[in-house]
């Protein structure tokens, strides 16, 4: 019998059972609970906080160490993660994907539209990675109200952090000394239902039109338009 020793497990995921798009498939939480049941993993609700805290501590430490430079931040995270166990590296990927999925909301998409001027599947994903890469406070406050970003953003800056998606893979490869295979974080997290690209749950919240943005997010609009 296989045994899985997870020091950090996310179990509190947003429900995506139904929304305006009519999605009626299993929620992320249901998919993960099935995974736990099939692999004899005991669920402990306290682990959610532990996982989240460790993830954000690592992100916030990387911001300070890199002076919030994305290239240096990516290097710092990959180096620090590669010093940890393979389970911890997997758990970084789990926490990252949870936060990407949590931020998949039309109001976050609206903020990206104002900031970057356009939205595509790739840029929307990379924008959410950038948001996570700004640390726990910026991420949390933006999810409450995207107008908060008016305090952070400036015209001409880059608001993408694609490399965040590959950090766990890089660290795992260094630690294990092998090329990517089915044991790696991306496959591991995908099997748990944490999907942020093709096959992801529908975007949460209410869609918008461009003429609504100036009044919906006035601070952000005034700063960048």
pTM of the model: 0.78
Region of 148 please: left (phi>0), alpha (psi -120 to 50) or beta.
alpha
Strand partners, 105: 204
Every domain of the chain and the residues it spans: 28-224
CA distances from 145 to 5, 105, 216 (A): 37, 11, 10
> In this predicted model, what pLDDT tens digit does every residue of 7-48 receive, in sequence order?
333 333 333 333 343 434 444 445 545 544 554 444 444 444
- Structure tokens given for 181: 């295979």
- Structure tokens given for 99: 């936060």
Question: For 127-159, b where at least 16 C-beta lie within 10 A, e where not — what string?
Answer: bbbbbbbbbbebbebbbeebbbbbebbeeeeeb
pLDDT over 70 percentage in the chain: 77
């Amino acid at each position: 019998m296989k045994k899985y020793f997870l020091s950090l497990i996310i179990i509190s995921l947003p429900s995506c059972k139904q929304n305006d798009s009519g999605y009626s498939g299993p929620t992320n939480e249901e998919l993960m609970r099935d995974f736990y049941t099939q692999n004899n993993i005991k669920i402990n609700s306290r682990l959610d906080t532990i996982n989240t805290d460790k993830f954000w501590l690592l992100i916030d430490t990387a911001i300070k160490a890199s002076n919030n430079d994305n290239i240096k931040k990516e290097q710092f995270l990959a180096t620090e993660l590669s010093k940890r166990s393979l389970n911890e590296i997997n758990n970084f990927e789990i926490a990252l994907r949870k936060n990407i999925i949590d931020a998949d909301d039309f109001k976050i998409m609206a903020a990206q539209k104002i900031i970057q001027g356009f939205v595509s599947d790739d840029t929307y994903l990379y924008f959410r990675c950038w948001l996570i890469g700004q640390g726990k406070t910026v991420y949390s406050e933006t999810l409450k109200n995207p107008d908060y970003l008016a305090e952070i953003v400036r015209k001409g800056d880059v608001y993408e952090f694609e490399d965040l998606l590959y950090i766990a893979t890089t660290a795992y490869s260094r630690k294990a000394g092998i090329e990517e295979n089915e044991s790696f974080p991306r496959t591991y997290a995908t099997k748990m239902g944490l999907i942020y690209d093709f096959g992801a749950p529908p975007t949460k919240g209410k869609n918008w039109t461009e003429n609504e943005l100036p009044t919906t997010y006035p601070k952000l609009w005034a700063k960048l338009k």
